[in-house]
A and B are shown apart, each in its own frame.
Chain A
């Protein structure tokens, strides 16, 4: 995680800027991009609103937010752009919502991906968390609805969870603005590189699948040595994901390894095409 862009890829586009622009993000005067992922009805929109001061409609419903929303905030003298991804249960299928979220995290390479989960349904929500951690190694977990969990007599040990997952975990009740300052701090730390994540990665699936993944990751590693998520790429290839097949073919994958954001100079980046 200490490589710089110039050490490894002289000619690839500076960082992830091109991709982000292509994904429709106006990168003017932005230091860091934060993606917001989560299951439907986990209070993702409330977290988004608390972070940005915007007022998106939220409701006690799964799937309120359909269009992608963007907002911004400042913290520690840095400007953050936050992109609210569609609420999904998973990132594996080819439904539009899941594709949008998956491609944004993979190709857009946000500096931080914040995953919002419902403290009262942690197990179900971890499905998405573990999938996100397969793709990116810069994530912050926001365990939301802690008030509701307390009311239901559920305690969540966030420090233990942080140790298990290898990423910062923040307990929050976004409706009461509880935990938002801590969330901002964690986002800042991961974005600026002061906190280095060691994300949990899936190890066992089935013997035949593991064998296939092993074969494929070995080949991928020799062609794309800097890829931080080779295993995920291998899985996507085995699922026949056309976008990944194309990006292997075109070599676009090469540009998709994580450069340390500290080395990124946003002011010059903003003027790049």
Chain B
């Protein structure tokens, strides 16, 4: 036997002698020495105790009476700032990109003798989809992410996880999922990336798969618009705002409920065997640095997410334009699909336009409503509204939108189901791509994609049947 083999067989034999505790023994010994060294080199020269600021703040933030209200208050402020603050810049960007640059681009292309279909695909399809995504997505993210990052830098978020853990533990998940969930309200792709902080494999997968149940900011406008048309309009004007907000909040809370239910389901079924380990470190509070935070959150989160969304939106814009302009046997592909899928969609309490819009607007939830409007006008052969086949548009007045939708055959049921379907459908393609990048697994990407859409179809179907039974 040569030397190397004898080393290995000695090692093997010795392993039986020392038993299986070697890891414990070793770590124990290392910490023993670490303690000695640390005690020799660290001191508290002023004789002062550790700063009490952190401890006091911790006591306050985890207080039984203040802990949760404070957390909800902060969250509410962040959302209010995001929604309110984003309105003006969103409008400004839209007016530049959609109202000024778009016609200019069309004219330029036409003057360059580009054929009508090329102008259509490029200006009305690709460009318009990108412009829409930027104007709807950028401002809220540019407000939401820095605020979130500030709380993160300060050290508040781990305390939120600490407080929320018990709820998530009961669902088989990790307290830190509270944060990826909240991040998901900004953008699901960013929420999925945020699950990196969860250092336990099973809980991280749960957080990734359920992140889509957080209503992302691309879906808020849809919710608000539909709610104001179908619920706000049911009550007197002075109550409309409250009812609309209430309906949207209910949908968002429903999303959180689904997150917990699905987390529980996953951890007790397909993810039962995945490894799990819990520990949550609560770092000391650090004074946040405003400029640095702004810079990194803009670069790392906002721009990257926005870039991915634009990349995916561009081809979708082309597809949207093409399906509304390619004619087969005298009708467009879009109309063919809408007519064909209408009976099926009816069973779900939706319509063909909505199904088609959700299929072709998969890259970004932001363009669903413009696409719905365009397709409704196209299939209902409306005149005087919109800018032509394949050109997405939005109307300033909710009333005008309501008129278009009513012509398209929308009822209260359609409104309710669109709100539900907007919550429960496949993640946008940016998110799907991000899930794949984070899990490196086709299987989990498919689960995360298919699960919500199946739930959406089932729930829409149930609601439609119940509604028709009751209302008739």
- Contact flag (A, B; Cβ within 8 A): yes
Chain A contact residues, CB within 8 Å of chain B: 40-41, 55, 57-64, 66, 90, 92-93, 120, 122-124, 126-127, 129-131, 148, 151-158, 160-161, 164-165, 175, 200, 202, 204-206, 208-209, 212, 215-216, 219-220, 222-223, 234-235, 237-240, 245, 248-249, 251
What is the CB-to-nearest-CB distance from B13 to chain A, in angstroms, rounded to a whole number?
9
Expressed in whole angstroms, the Cα–Cα distance for A58 and B286 within the complex equals: 13
- Residue of A with least CB distance to B289: A175
- Residue of B with least CB distance to A204: B29
Beta-carbon contact of B14 and A212 below 8 Å: yes
Q: Is B152 an interface residue (CB 8 A)?
A: yes
Beta-carbon contact of A148 and B286 below 8 Å: yes
Segment from B45-53, B72-80, B249-257 that makes contact with A: B45-53
Beta-carbon contact of B25 and A206 below 8 Å: yes
Beta-carbon contact of B199 and A63 below 8 Å: yes
Beta-carbon contact of A153 and B22 below 8 Å: no
Given A63-B196, A160-B41, A216-B7, A209 and B296 contact (CB-CB distance below 8 Å): no
- B259-285 to A contact mask, C-beta < 8 Å, 1/0: 000000000000000000000010110
Beta-carbon contact of A60 and B40 below 8 Å: no
What is the CB-to-nearest-CB distance from B230 to chain A, in angstroms, rounded to a whole number?
41
Expressed in whole angstroms, the Cα–Cα distance for A101 and B50 within the complex equals: 33
Residues from chain A with Cβ under 8 Å of B11 in the complex: 216, 234, 237-238, 245
Expressed in whole angstroms, the Cα–Cα distance for A272 and B183 within the complex equals: 48
Beta-carbon contact of B31 and A64 below 8 Å: no
Expressed in whole angstroms, the Cα–Cα distance for A90 and B24 within the complex equals: 12
Beta-carbon contact of A64 and B29 below 8 Å: no
Residues from chain A with Cβ under 8 Å of B162 in the complex: none
The count of chain B contact residues (Cβ–Cβ below 8 Å) is: 59
Ordered nearest first, which 5 A-B pairs have the shortest CB separation?
Answer: A126-B34, A123-B38, A237-B11, A57-B300, A212-B14
Q: Which of B7, B17, B23 contacts A219 (CB 8 A)?
A: B7
Beta-carbon contact of A63 and B197 below 8 Å: yes
Most chain A beta-carbon contacts within 10 A, residue among B4, B37, B41, B51? B41
Beta-carbon contact of B281 and A62 below 8 Å: yes
What is the CB-to-nearest-CB distance from B237 to chain A, in angstroms, rounded to a whole number?
45
Q: Is B342 an interface residue (CB 8 A)?
A: no
Residues from chain A with Cβ under 8 Å of B41 in the complex: 122, 156-158, 160-161, 164
What is the CB-to-nearest-CB distance from B120 to chain A, in angstroms, rounded to a whole number?
40
Segment from B121-129, B153-161, B166-174, B325-333 that makes contact with A: B153-161
Most chain A beta-carbon contacts within 10 A, residue among B25, B30, B48? B30
What is the CB-to-nearest-CB distance from A50 to chain B, in angstroms, rounded to a whole number?
12
Given A61-B157, A216-B7, A237-B8, A127 and B25 contact (CB-CB distance below 8 Å): no
- A sample of 26 cross-chain residue pairs with beta-carbon separation below 8 angstroms, ordered by A number, consists of A55-B296, A55-B299, A61-B152, A63-B197, A66-B196, A127-B30, A130-B34, A153-B46, A153-B51, A154-B42, A154-B50, A156-B42, A164-B40, A200-B37, A204-B29, A205-B25, A206-B25, A215-B10, A216-B10, A216-B11, A223-B4, A223-B7, A237-B11, A239-B22, A245-B8, A248-B4
Q: Is B33 an interface residue (CB 8 A)?
A: yes
Beta-carbon contact of A205 and B29 below 8 Å: yes
Beta-carbon contact of B7 and A248 below 8 Å: yes
Given A216-B7, A248-B8, A90 and B197 contact (CB-CB distance below 8 Å): no
What is the CB-to-nearest-CB distance from A203 to chain B, in angstroms, rounded to a whole number?
8
Q: Is B18 an interface residue (CB 8 A)?
A: yes
Q: Is B27 an interface residue (CB 8 A)?
A: yes
Q: Is B295 an interface residue (CB 8 A)?
A: yes
Beta-carbon contact of A209 and B34 below 8 Å: no
Given A152-B51, A161-B41, A249 and B152 contact (CB-CB distance below 8 Å): no
Given A122-B42, A164-B37, A59 and B17 contact (CB-CB distance below 8 Å): no
Most chain B beta-carbon contacts within 10 A, residue among A151, A175, A204? A151
